[in-house]
Structure 1
């Protein structure tokens, strides 16, 4: 090593030229002199063979128990709010209460998990002894000696953790964990009620029945948003798509059911060139000059299939890219959807487009058909 290197290695004196000295590879890191935790940090667990200071341990035990009780209170408050308060004034699923419900439910669940995590961390850091554990690889089938050794190590570990000799910690930990175990069961409420047979029929059936009782061929289609009845001449250009609903849905449906019934009945109307249209067998009369109607609800998971490619005549769902062929009974040509979009039978009456019946198969995701 040259004199220059000897002078540089490990030296803390300024260089003769006035520049700062850099650390040479192989020299001790100066970070060791600035450790974040001291060697005798009180938060560190006792080493092997060392005894815990019982007064300090009791103090830590009470702190841990307090955090466990806080976790228990947060879990109980979560369940109580979900079952009770969130059911008022439109419930937690109402538009005006959604933000409030998310804030309180998320906050209380976060408080429960955070308090539980802090309590367990303090328990491990302050009340458990630290012993080096060496584990060797052996055959999977353990012999009797190994099983006995495991039992012994397990009992020693339980004793070292303090869970057997500190009943306050054991009881408050179980108390804090119990509501957290029940919380997922409470959340199952959001998965129901099951749709059962409700998706096999939409408001189209009721509207068609009412119109036919008045001597009409069917119920008129109205443009979503304007409620204007749609004439065949208004939709005569091939390549277009529009969203329609049955006429009178807002007047003949209970106010609290309008959103649900509208979501079920929403339909897309597409004008396909006659030379490219391939009506399915038995559905030759379900269109009007190439104008066809399909449910807007994707048969994968229920997203709105609201995109249309005029050049390929494909209906696309933006959620998971399910693609349906509008010229061929909306059959699936790509993506995870398991079945075509349900088709709505159409006819013309007094120049207006009308639906002559409800959908002949359930709308929405395929798995709901099992209900």
Structure 2
């Protein structure tokens, strides 16, 4: 059966559309201006919320919790939510919500409102249709009123522009810059303790061939109120760089580099637990060969020969921590690591030169 369109090439004269209903904003200038101010207000509040996101990033400590049990400002609080994450969610989410609602209200109440009837056409439009589309786009721009409504336009541009602020601020969370990792929490006289119990270690506690995972004693220390000296995010960051392994070998099996003859105690040596390839934690210990194997990419270090790389992709020796014994007979650090504890990166040579100057020569 032939349709009316196929027979005449024209659409049906009256497709049955209801009469056009004008919006209050179309007939009432006061209502139009009131709606415009409401939309601009949403964009303005969104801008303030995005600025609040950036302020919260720098002013709220990542360890503070809300709706938590215990002191929300201490590392002992548990349960509840991270105050920083809660603020991030409310400010950024609220800003996105207000911008979205404002744009929808703008389109529904202020932009051009009329029915359009469009004939179907082949997949490729004719040049005339393309010109007509561009004319429609230009007409849409005119009907949106973006040129004659500077209050809405400028407030929207301000809110959308402020969206870049959280993105820039959050770039800091990609991690510390390589040259900020030159030092760890190890200091002269700091005790070496078991990483589980926190018990200090004496030379007599170790047997030949034994390996112990250890940490600096400061991780287990508390202040006058009983709170950990280092806790929360700072504790995790410090542990990532300061973790060590302590091994005991026969002194005659050790061949120390010049200047390292007194870095051990009765055959006990201390090395970083962080692989110099990509930073994996390592503690796979071969007692007979004195080799330490990284489980990630099989880099192998000879701990009897200054942590030298003997196999695998790592090309820097394992950093060694010089040891001594304090007045009570416990193992302590003589200083921080003279070498950089971190995965390898391009700036490493420059930063190692700075450490060499600090420790008075090549480490």
Q: Please indicate, yes or no, whether the TM-score normalized by the shorter chain is above 0.5.
A: yes
Distance 1:75 1:280, change over 3 A: same
8 A contact 1:302–1:364 mirrored in 2: yes
Residues in 2 aligned to 1:105 and 1:244: alpha-carbon distance in whole angstroms: 34
Distance 1:40 1:117, change over 3 A: farther
Residues in 2 aligned to 1:40 and 1:343: alpha-carbon distance in whole angstroms: 83
8 A contact 1:299–1:339 mirrored in 2: yes
8 A contact 1:273–1:290 mirrored in 2: yes
Gaps of 5+ in 2: 1-15, 27-31, 66-71, 74-80, 126-130, 352-363
Aligned pairs (5 A) from 1:186-197: 186-187=169-170
Residue 314 (1) aligns with residue 293 (2): yes
- Deviation larger for 171-180 or 220-229: 220-229
Residues in 2 aligned to 1:314 and 1:131: alpha-carbon distance in whole angstroms: 73
**The residue matched to 1:206 in structure 2 has which SS?**
coil
Distance 1:355 1:173, change over 3 A: closer
Residues in 2 aligned to 1:125 and 1:181: alpha-carbon distance in whole angstroms: 27
Instruction: Give the aligned partner of residue 245 of structure 2.
Output: 268
Instruction: Give the aligned partner of residue 243 of structure 1.
Output: 214
Aligned pairs (5 A) from 1:87-236: 91-94=61-64, 96=72, 99-124=82-107, 127=111, 155-187=138-170, 199-202=181-184, 204-207=186-189, 221-224=192-195, 226=197, 228-236=199-207
Residues in 1 aligned to 2:255 and 2:140: alpha-carbon distance in whole angstroms: 73
Instruction: Give the aligned partner of residue 343 of structure 1.
Output: 320
8 A contact 1:240–1:310 mirrored in 2: no
List per-residue Cα deviations over 1:9-28 (Å, max 9, x = no partner): xxxxxxxxxxxxxxxxxxxx
**The residue matched to 2:163 in structure 1 has which SS?**
helix
Residues in 2 aligned to 1:307 and 1:325: alpha-carbon distance in whole angstroms: 11
Residue 360 (structure 1) aligned to one of 331, 338, 356? 338
Residues in 2 aligned to 1:111 and 1:293: alpha-carbon distance in whole angstroms: 51
Residues in 2 aligned to 1:244 and 1:109: alpha-carbon distance in whole angstroms: 39
Residues in 1 aligned to 2:275 and 2:136: alpha-carbon distance in whole angstroms: 57
Q: How many residues are matched? A: 294
The CA deviation at 1:353 is 4.7
8 A contact 1:231–1:353 mirrored in 2: yes
Residues in 2 aligned to 1:115 and 1:238: alpha-carbon distance in whole angstroms: 65
Residues in 1 aligned to 2:171 and 2:206: alpha-carbon distance in whole angstroms: 45
Tell me the C-alpha RMSD between the 2 structures.
5.4
Residue 55 (1) aligns with residue 34 (2): no
Residues in 2 aligned to 1:332 and 1:153: alpha-carbon distance in whole angstroms: 71
Residues in 2 aligned to 1:202 and 1:82: alpha-carbon distance in whole angstroms: 25
Residues in 2 aligned to 1:284 and 1:248: alpha-carbon distance in whole angstroms: 27
